[in-house]
Amino acid sequence: MQPNSQTEQLTQAGQQIEHDSFAIVDREVGPHSYSNEQWQVVRRMIHATADFEFNGLTEFSATAVDAGILAILNGAPIVADVEMICVGLSEPRLRHFGVAAHQFIADADVIAAAKTVNSTRAVQAMQKAQRLGLLRGGIVAVGNAPTALLEVLRLIEEHGVKPALIVGMPVGFVSAAESKALLAELAGVPWIITRGRKGGSTLVVAAIHALLSLAETRQQAV
């Protein structure tokens, strides 16, 4: 099988640095119970943060990685809670699969609605994504706002919304750990989480980049 060409660093020097970094992570991480494909995700998260605690803090539902790969291969949209995720994702890698990343937290109508009902922008942004039909079959990517994740869970429960995958990694002290614990109880929608307070947009971007790489590998095997 030929090596990935779309989801690698663009220069040979960059590729070598990344591969050397992955090798160091593999050497220093110690034991883990992840499958090979799950490890590709966790390793890239460790690589992005230099934090080996994500070996253990990161959890997957049974079909999460496969669901993410299939969603990418099908060109599913990504709905992020914050602009930082959209900026961090590689546009050429997304474009290769026909995937578009969306965020609505700074939209004027979202801000106005949040002020009117005394809600958060993150909640209103996810409601907008739902109205636009982006959540059903899409990849939900939450790295900052627990209220965004809680709203997606409400939409699933009350409106039957069914994303292809939820990457739920909000960081913080208010409802971050709790929202991820609720997601981990969800049946019927695949998920990837980081337990506890740790999380962030950097981790979400790393996880999705790993899924993009796995999708290219799957694509080549067809």
Asked whether residue 48 is domain-assigned, the answer is no
Which residues touch 202 (CB under 8 Å, ≥6 apart)?
Answer: 48, 49, 88, 143
Asked whether residue 180 is domain-assigned, the answer is yes
CATH code, 62: 3.40.50.10230
Question: Distance between CA 144 and CA 84 in Å, rounded?
Answer: 9
Question: Distance between CA 198 and CA 34 in Å, rounded?
Answer: 19
Asked whether residue 194 is domain-assigned, the answer is yes
Cβ-count burial of 144 within 10 angstroms (0-12 exposed, 13-18 middle, 19+ buried)? buried
Asked whether residue 29 is domain-assigned, the answer is no
Q: Per-residue confidence at 14, pLDDT binned at 50, 70, 90?
A: confident
Asked whether residue 14 is domain-assigned, the answer is no
Q: Per-residue confidence at 197, pLDDT binned at 50, 70, 90?
A: very high
CA angle 163, 168, 170 (to 5 degrees): 140
Asked if the model's pLDDT at residue 211 lies above 80, the reply is: yes
Average pLDDT over residues 8-37: 85
Average pLDDT over residues 20-48: 93
Average pLDDT over residues 6-19: 74
Which residues touch 4 (CB under 8 Å, ≥6 apart)?
Answer: 213, 216, 217, 220
> Which one of the listed residues 19, 47, 96, 102 is annotated catalytic?
47
Mind giving me the DSSP string for 114-161?
Answer: HHHHT--HHHHHHHHHHHTT-STTSEEEESS-HHHHHHHHHHHHHH--
Tell me what the pLDDT averaged over the chain comes to: 94
Asked whether residue 41 is domain-assigned, the answer is no
Average pLDDT over residues 193-221: 95
Q: Which residue has the tokens 């969306």?
A: 102
Tell me which residue range forms the domain holding 73.
55-221
Q: How many domains does the chain have?
A: 1
Helix (H) or strand (E) holding 222: none
* CA neighbor of 145 nearest in space, from 167, 169, 163, 113: 169
Asked whether residue 34 is domain-assigned, the answer is no
pTM: 0.93
Cβ-count burial of 30 within 10 angstroms (0-12 exposed, 13-18 middle, 19+ buried)? exposed
- Which 3 state secondary structure label does DSSP give 20? helix
Q: Which residue has the tokens 């106005």?
A: 112
Q: What DSSP designation does 98 have?
A: T
pLDDT of residue 219: 86
Q: Per-residue confidence at 1, pLDDT binned at 50, 70, 90?
A: very low
In this structure, the strands spanning 165-168 and 101-102 are unpaired
Asked whether residue 11 is domain-assigned, the answer is no
Active site residue 32: no
Question: Distance between CA 41 and CA 64 in Å, rounded?
Answer: 11
